[in-house]
């Protein structure tokens, strides 16, 4: 008898839980071996992968997917070789499992420590990039976790062939194949079903647009690690090196405007606004950036578009920038508290006290001094890789790499102690 979708997902989640038990204590050399087999197999089967991916792409084109989405969906020789590089890099990273940062002795002689262990089963929900399937599977494997992957429906054929290759590599390394499973359904319903598998799944990590993430957050029985959006600011202090400020603000806005760690609002101290803003705005306008300015900024450059209230909390994800001239740093900090998304905030200043105060007072997953917001990224910060950025404040705050896919358990060495 045919299983319905719910029964299928329950069976997959059970298999994942079961595989997680075996994976939990897998030794590093086995996990790295599997990652190597994956890289080899993807490389040797790349023509087959590209052929199947072409099916997804042409179907998506027929369904009217926009250019950016089609671009993300398409696998080329280049994206495949970067997938393969990613696998080899993750294999080269140290194994996070088993780490004991320290132990301590209790007065009664109990020796107590924490050891790093996998989370168990991770549900990963993401949009149409099939290379993310391989990245996420590799990160989960290296951190000893089983993973259920629900990718975008447009990428289903690409994801399924990749899944087949990953499973074979796992089994070749004597690890449970079912610790990596792509949910073979294009129905949106499958997301909702996955979110109810709280008996088998330890944590959900969604990656995609704000709408997807809100849906996941509101319908999950399982804890969700996520950020809704990135409304990131650069505050140009009155003690800023204005050249540096211009470079940083330009990079933060223009280098890749469609991502969560791009700047959305620039805050400028009024004492340097007159010397800084005209040059900065010209550079932005030359790059096609539309500026939406507060009243005080308009006094300096009157022909800009006035900002509306809705611009301050907006994540434009585009060549659009809100600009506010502030009276002092408190103004800037209050603006960030009010409109920031706890994601990424940067100050440009040469003043030590101001830098220190900004670092302390800003509540965001990453706070930078004299650097572009674009650096809030697992790879750029030295975590080696990243499965997402978390602003929920639980578990990890900011980019999540291998360590953030683990937790610690207490281990206690006694010699017969009983509680009085």
Residue numbers at the binding site for a copy of itself (CB under 8 A):
21, 24-25, 104, 106, 110, 112, 115, 117, 119-120, 202-203, 217-218, 221, 223-225, 241, 244, 247-248, 250-252, 255-256, 337, 355, 359-361, 363-372, 374-376, 380-382, 392-399, 407-419
Shortest reach from residue 60's CB to a copy of itself, in Å: 30
Helices 28-44 and 156-172: crossing angle in degrees, nearest 10, is 130
**Is the CB of 288 or the CB of 382 nearer to a copy of itself?**
382
Query: On the CB side of 222, how many CA atoms lie within 13 Å of its CA?
Result: 26
Determine which helix (DSSP H) or strand (DSSP E) holds 90, and give its type and residue range.
helix 77-92
How far apart (Å, rounded) are the C-alpha atoms in residues 360 and 93? 31
Q: What's the full length of the chain, in residues?
A: 420
Decide the pairing of beta strands 263-269 and 320-326.
Answer: parallel
Question: CB-wise, 23 or 73, nearer to a copy of itself?
Answer: 23
Exposure of 104 in the CB half-sphere (CA atoms within 13 A): 4
What phi, psi does 267 have (nearest 5°)? Answer: -110, 130
- Going from the C-alpha of 192 to that of each of 3, 89, 129, 202, the distances in angstroms are 17, 34, 20, 16
Task: Report the nearest approach of a copy of itself to the CB of residue 45 (Å).
Answer: 32
Least CB distance from residue 125 to a copy of itself, whole Å? 17
Nearest distance from C-beta of residue 420 to a copy of itself, angstroms: 8
At residue 199, the 3 state secondary structure works out as coil
- To the nearest whole angstrom, how small is the minimum distance from the Cβ of residue 400 to a copy of itself? 11
- CA pair distance 136, 87, nearest whole angstrom: 10
Nearer to a copy of itself, 22 or 69 (CB): 22
DSSP assignment, residue 307?
A: P
**Minimum CB–partner distance for residue 337 and a copy of itself (Å):** 6
Provide, rounded to whole angstroms, the least separation between the CB of residue 249 and a copy of itself. Answer: 10
Cβ-based nearer residue to a copy of itself, 54 or 407 = 407
Picking from 145, 133, 31, the residue whose alpha carbon sits closest to that of residue 91 is: 31
For 399, list phi and psi in degrees, rounded to 5.
-60, 140
> H helices within 24-76, ranges in order?
28-44, 46-62, 67-73
Helix (H, G, I), strand (E, B) or coil at 107: coil
Q: What is the largest CA-CA distance in the chain?
A: 79
Coil/strand/helix, residue 116: strand
Could you tell me the strand order of the sheet in which 146-150 lies?
A: 180-182, 146-150, 121-126, 203-207
Two tokens, residue 89: 């890099």
Which residue has tokens 């299983």?
Answer: 3
CB of 16 to a copy of itself, least distance (A): 14
Identify the burial level of 267 via C-beta atoms within 10 angstroms of its C-beta, where 0-12 means exposed, 13-18 middle and 19 or more buried. buried
The residue among 82 and 370 lying less far from a copy of itself, judged by its C-beta, is 370
Judge whether 108 and 165 are in contact, CB under 8 Å.
no
């Amino acid at each position: 008898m045919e299983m319905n979708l719910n029964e299928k997902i329950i069976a997959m989640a059970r298999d994942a839980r079961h595989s997680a038990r075996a994976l939990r204590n897998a030794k590093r050399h086995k996990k790295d071996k599997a990652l190597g087999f994956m890289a080899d197999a993807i490389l040797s089967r790349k023509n087959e992968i590209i052929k199947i991916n072409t099916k997804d792409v042409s179907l998506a084109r027929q369904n009217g997917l926009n250019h950016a989405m089609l671009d993300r969906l398409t696998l080329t020789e280049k994206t495949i070789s970067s997938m393969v590089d990613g696998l080899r890099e993750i294999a080269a990273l140290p194994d996070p499992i088993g780490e004991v940062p320290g132990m301590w002795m209790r007065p009664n002689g109990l020796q107590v420590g924490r050891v790093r262990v996998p989370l168990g089963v991770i549900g990963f929900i993401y949009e149409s990039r099939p290379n993310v399937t391989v990245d996420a599977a590799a990160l989960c494997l290296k951190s000893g976790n089983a993973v259920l992957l629900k990718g975008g429906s447009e990428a289903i054929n690409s994801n399924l062939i990749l899944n087949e290759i990953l499973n074979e590599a796992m089994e070749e390394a004597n690890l449970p194949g079912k610790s990596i499973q792509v949910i073979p359904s294009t129905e949106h319903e499958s997301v909702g079903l996955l979110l109810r598998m709280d008996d088998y799944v330890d944590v959900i990590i969604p990656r995609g647009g704000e709408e997807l993430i809100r849906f996941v957050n509101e319908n999950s029985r399982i804890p969700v690690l996520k950020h809704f959006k990135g409304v990131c600011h650069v505050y140009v202090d009155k003690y800023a090196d204005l050249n540096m400020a211009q470079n940083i603000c330009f990079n933060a806005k223009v280098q890749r405007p469609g991502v969560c760690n791009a700047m959305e609002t620039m805050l400028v101290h009024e004492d340097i606004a007159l010397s800084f803003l005209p040059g900065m705005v010209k550079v932005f306008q030359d790059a096609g950036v539309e500026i939406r300015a507060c009243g005080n900024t308009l006094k300096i450059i009157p022909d800009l578009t006035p900002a509306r209230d809705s611009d301050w909390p907006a994540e434009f994800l585009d060549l659009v920038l809100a600009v506010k001239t502030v009276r002092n740093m408190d103004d800037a900090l209050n603006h960030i508290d009010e409109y920031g998304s706890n994601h990424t905030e940067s100050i440009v200043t040469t003043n030590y006290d101001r830098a220190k105060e900004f670092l302390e007072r800003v509540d965001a997953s990453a706070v930078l001094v004299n650097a572009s917001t674009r650096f809030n990224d697992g790879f750029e910060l030295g975590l080696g890789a990243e499965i997402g950025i978390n602003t929920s404040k639980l578990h990890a705050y900011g980019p999540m790499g291998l360590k953030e896919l683990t937790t610690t358990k207490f281990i206690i060495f006694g010699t017969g102690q009983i509680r009085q």
